[in-house]
Amino acid sequence: MDPVTLTTATGVNLFALLGTVLWTALRIGATVMVLPMLSGRGMPVRARMMITLALAGALSTLLPTPPAAAVDATTFITVLREITVGVAIGMMLRLAFEAGRFAGELVSQGMGLSFATMADPLSGASSPVLAQWFYLAFGLLFFALDAHLALVELLMGSYQTLPIGQPLVDRHDLLAAVPGFFGTCLQAGLLLALPVMMALLAVNLAFGVLSRAASALNPIAIGLPVALVVGLLLIGLLMRHLQAPVEQLFGDAFMAARGLTP
């Protein structure tokens, strides 16, 4: 083969490989944009781009050839479809993390720390300190349980069950799965915070009764520090048993995400 033909063939192969990587990066990039611990202001855009392209380059070699891109309505709809599927997959895992944030907000109200807020570097908004603490604990368990590897397997399975370019015909799961899993996350967050909330409620009721019996006893000066100390002790005990419910919640999140691409 002469050098001109070899260069032309190599260039065509390189452009075809680049197109495959870019098609694969659409769904993965949309997932990374929504995924906790990787989205938000805490992760630089270049780092997210590098993660997206690295995963797309690795998975594209195992996937069939995507459709050829062109400037037409079909390509636009296909791009929109890939972004929609990626956002839906990432939203499932984000809802699991929001359950931890919800539990932290409930616990902070019982401990009297609802006013202790700080700027969240992930979203840029203000949230209670305990809510961010639960959020970070969920993030550590996410990587400790190898859920990031399960995410890569989930993305690979989504391309096998729903290849690039395949239409979403009669797939109402994209509309029903997110609201359905939202109720599961609310229940999980409430159950995580319920033992600590009930114990703190008993402490607050006890100091309320004491303040009625002894009018000189200031419930704010004494009850608030005691509730804070009891709450911290209970959270320490809760952390020892946090892995099992969080692992179950992540399992439900991955199951709901797999239901998006049956």
pLDDT tens, the chain, 262 aa long: 444 444 444 554 666 677 788 888 888 988 988 888 777 666 778 888 898 888 888 888 888 777 776 667 778 888 888 888 888 888 888 889 989 888 888 888 877 776 666 666 555 666 777 888 888 889 889 989 989 899 999 999 888 888 887 766 555 555 666 677 888 888 898 898 888 888 888 887 887 777 777 666 666 667 777 788 888 888 888 888 888 899 999 998 998 888 776 6
- Counting Cα atoms < 13 Å in the Cβ hemisphere of 89 gives 28
| Residue 167 DSSP code | -
Instruction: List, in order, residues 6 or more apart from 125 with CB less than 8 Å away.
Output: 119
Number of H helices, E strands in the chain: 8, 2
Return the exposure string of 36-65: e unless at least 16 CB atoms fall within 10 Å of the residue's CB, then b: bbbbeeebeeeebeebbbebbeebbeebee
Domain spans in the chain, listed from the N-terminal domain onward: 3-258
Q: What is the pTM of this model?
A: 0.79
Residue 188 and residue 99 in contact, taking contact as beta carbons nearer than 8 Å: yes
Distance CA 97, CA 27 (A): 21
Residue 130 and residue 104 in contact, taking contact as beta carbons nearer than 8 Å: yes
Q: At what angle are helices 3-34 and 73-111 packed, to 10 degrees?
A: 30
The token pair that represents 191 in the structure block: 């159950």
Among the listed residues 80, 251, 82, the one whose alpha carbon sits nearest the alpha carbon of residue 159: 82
